[in-house]
Amino acid sequence: MDVCVALVAGTLLLRVPAPVQLQWTHSVERVALVETYHAMSSGLRLQEVRGRGLGAGIALPPQTRWTGDGWWVFEPEATTLPALQLANAGSSAGYRLCWHGGCAALAALPGAFDQPLVLRAC
């Protein structure tokens, strides 16, 4: 399955092969975060969460491990979302989506600047 990125209003902007990594920076703490999602018929499954630093609202579960290069990593309990909505506005517009073979800045997609976006399995 693939992952589709669309405007909340429904216009498809991007379709890429799964798994994907959603990369972003915490808007207050400026901490780099990476979430890995797999596409399933039931939705997007959050497979792994990585971060480079701690900050407000970031609570790490007991199974978190630290890598030698300063990142923390954990695999959350099985969580499948029918869709993932992103504000993609103002200070939170720094989302990047990466997949095998490429990456795209979501705010740079045609029609996406300052518009809420939704990611879903397709």
Q: Which amino acid is at 93?
A: A
Q: Is a pLDDT exceeding 80 seen at residue 27?
A: no
3-state SS, one letter per residue, for 36-88:
EEEEECCEEEEEEEEEECCCCCCCCCCCCEECCCCCEEECCCCCEECCEEECC
Residue 71 has a pLDDT of 92
Residue 88 has a pLDDT of 76
Most confident of 14-23, 57-66, 72-81: 14-23
pLDDT mean over 43-51: 95
Domain that holds residue 104: 2-121
Please count the CA atoms within 13 angstroms of the CA of 99 that sit on its side-chain side.
19
Domain count, the chain: 1
Q: Is a pLDDT exceeding 90 seen at residue 26?
A: no
35 near 46, Cβ under 8 Å? yes
Residue 49 has a pLDDT of 92
